[in-house]
Amino acid sequence: MALVPLSDVLQPALQHGYAVAGLVTLGWEDTRAFVAAAEAEGCPVILQAGPGCREHTPLTVLAAMFRHLADNADVPVVAHLDHGYSMEECRQAIDCGFTSVMYDGSRKPLQQNIDETAAIVAVAHAAGVSCEGEIGFVGYAEGEESHGTVPEEAAKFARETAVDAMAISVGNVHLQSDSVSQLDEARIRQIQLQCDVPLVIHGGSGVTIEQRVHLARTTAICKYNIGTELRMAFGKALRESVNKDAARFDRVSILKDTHEPVMNAARRVMNAIKAS
């Protein structure tokens, strides 16, 4: 299948009460495993190129890799720029062939965030590309503190930007290595009462599987961003591969050992929240 825009996979999720996994990629090995997992589960997958990934690999290379995998997959695949911080960066992703961009203006004053996000939405939509925005600030484990999303501000943001998906801060935290976050369901419901846009949880690794499922089935949460738990699965598999034979030096043979563990970890993520 060809790459599809984010809205193509999130609108059905919103209508039918499930969620789609936005999986944070770092390279060929994990990205290939994510698509294999989606095919095994028979569900869409959102491949996300975050800032760390983009520091290591040019957007043009990532776009070509995502498209190659999508063209040979039998499930919908979204090529998504995660945490774009400027119009220039989002334009570059669109020009490279990404089918979705996320503009992160969450550290900026509300009206500035709205104005800048709306401008990027207009550029994205003109190119047939989806756009995700963020209102409220999702903090980082052992880093910046979160600032919870105000429902009235979320309604204004959704209305004035026309985003296809809206990331919110409701107790979620980036880079959480344990599932200890307890999302504020009451706040989520207040937000969705005031707008009808699909909602996104960044820092999904910190949320228990049980709450992911519950919120996917009963609220407008349609996308969970999952990175840390999959990187942990990759790291564990890589260490085991290296340590099992001190004489091994061929990185291709070593990295091949990560495929099945990462694929299985991604399958567990997808299986819990996909359409039932």
Catalytic residue, from 8, 74, 82, 104: name it: 82
> Do residues 183 and 201 lie in contact, with contact meaning Cβ atoms separated by under 8 Å?
yes
Which letter does DSSP use for residue 82 in this model? E
Q: Is 30 a catalytic residue?
A: no
Residues noted as catalytic: 82
